[in-house]
């Protein structure tokens, strides 16, 4: 499975000039079996990029293809069986239980007017088990803490069981233990199920430790894109974020780590 973006430009204002575009002439591809991280300063277009790949937004120009077929040639249901999304907004407006929410991940597989099949229910049970949410399953989503709610939303996406998983700061509210557990789960599915994961991170060290490739965005343009170790340098970080840093290989993490000197 491969996602390719050919000359993608996007702006919320259709009349915007090239300079005001949120994504500018993006060219690149993502292949299955790899964990990609997207990093970049606020407003660099990270979320917009994910929205374009998931088909939530339509590019003003260019085409996004999944294995050669345009994203918009898929029916909504078919697309939902290919791509699952954990968005930043995880408010739920009505008090559904955790179990209900996780089971919603099976929506694209359940025909209208039918109750979920045993397989659907089993999948939801399994996901709640591996995400350590069994004890929360009957709790109402709006009574959970931010981190628990985020875990529930990630569990819903895993329950959707798609070859492509898009994560938009999916771990930002989780404590360190759950962050590591969840990243481990996601990472495992990349290897075992040949999944394609694209995750937006703010923590550069997390991105470096967990991903195969890193994409650096700034003002809608690619600053660097490639192997994590190659991309993550003090120069790139200075260019993208305008901060000074020291980048060193860490034996403990077995990846590069970034340190920010205090001056």
Partner 1 sequence: MALSIPGAIVKGRTGFLVVLFSLFLVSMIFLSLSMGYIRIPITDILQIFLAKAALSVHGLQTMNETHLAVIMDVRLPRILSCAGVGAALALSGVLFQGILLNPLADPYTLGVSAGAAFGASIAILLNLGNAFVSVPLFAFAGASLTLFMVVFLSYSAKNPMAGLSSNNLILSGVIVAAILSAGISFLKFIANEQVSVIIFWLMGSFASKTWSNVWIITAFLGIGFFISMFFARDLNLISLGPKSAASLGVDLRKVTFILLVSGSLLAAVCVSISGIIGFVGLLVPHMVRFITGPDNRKLIPLSMLSGAFLLLFADTITRAVLPHEIPIGVLTALTGGPVFCWIFKKNRFK
Minimum distance, C-beta of residue 55 to partner 1, in the bound complex (Å): 8
Helix axes 176-192 and 146-160, enclosed angle (nearest 10): 10
All residues at 6 or more sequence positions from 17 whose CB lies less than 8 Å from its CB, including other chains = none
Q: CB burial class (10 A; 0-12, 13-18, 19+) of residue 262?
A: exposed
Distance CA 117, CA 140 (A): 23
Cα-based distances in Å from 3 to 52, 150, 212? 11, 26, 16
Binding residues for partner 1, rule CB under 8 A, total 41
**Positions in 12-51 near partner 1 (CB under 8 A):** 12-14, 51
Kindly state whether residue 139 participates in binding partner 1, applying the rule CB under 8 A.
no
- Candidate list 19, 42, 68, 112; residue touching partner 1; CB under 8 A: 112
Q: How far is the CB of 235 from partner 1 (least distance, A)?
A: 35
Sign, CA torsion 83/88/91/96? positive
Alpha-carbon distances of 210 from 185, 228, 231, rounded to whole Å: 11, 9, 14
Nearer to partner 1, 20 or 248 (CB): 20
Q: In the window 177-196, what residues touch partner 1 (CB under 8 A)?
A: none
Verify binding: residue 158, partner 1, rule CB under 8 A. no
> Per CB under 8 A, which of residues 63..102 are in contact with partner 1?
76-77, 79-81, 83-85, 87, 89-97, 100-101
Q: How far is the CB of 148 from partner 1 (least distance, A)?
A: 16
Within a 10 A sphere around the Cβ of 88, how many other Cβ atoms? Answer: 14
- List the interface residues with partner 1, window 193-222 (CB under 8 A): none
Residues that bind partner 1 (CB under 8 A): 12-14, 51, 54-57, 76-77, 79-81, 83-85, 87, 89-97, 100-101, 104-105, 107-108, 110-115, 153, 156, 160
């Amino acid at each position: 499975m491969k996602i390719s973006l050919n000359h993608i430009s996007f702006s919320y204002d259709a009349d915007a000039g090239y300079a005001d575009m949120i994504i500018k002439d993006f060219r690149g591809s993502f292949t299955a079996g790899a964990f990609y991280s997207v990093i970049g300063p606020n407003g660099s277009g990270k979320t917009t990029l994910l929205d374009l790949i998931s088909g939530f937004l339509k590019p003003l120009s260019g085409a996004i293809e999944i294995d050669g077929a345009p994203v918009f040639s898929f029916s909504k249901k078919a697309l939902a069986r290919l791509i699952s999304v954990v968005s930043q907004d995880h408010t739920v407006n009505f008090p559904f239980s955790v179990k209900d929410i996780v089971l919603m991940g099976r929506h694209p597989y359940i025909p209208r007017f039918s109750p979920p099949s045993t397989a659907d229910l089993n999948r939801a049970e399994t996901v709640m088990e591996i995400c350590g949410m069994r004890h929360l399953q009957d709790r109402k989503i709006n009574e959970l803490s931010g981190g628990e709610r985020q875990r529930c939303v990630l569990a819903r996406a895993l329950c959707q069981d798609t070859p492509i998983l898009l994560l938009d700061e999916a771990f930002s509210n989780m404590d360190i233990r759950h962050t590591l557990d969840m990243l481990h789960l996601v990472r495992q599915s990349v290897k075992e199920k040949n999944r394609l994961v694209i995750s937006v991170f703010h923590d550069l060290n997390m991105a470096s430790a967990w991903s195969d490739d890193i994409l650096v965005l700034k003002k809608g343009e690619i600053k660097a894109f490639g192997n994590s170790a190659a991309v993550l340098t003090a120069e790139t970080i200075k260019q993208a974020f305008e901060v000074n840093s020291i980048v060193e290989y860490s034996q403990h993490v077995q990846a590069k780590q970034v340190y920010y000197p205090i001056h």
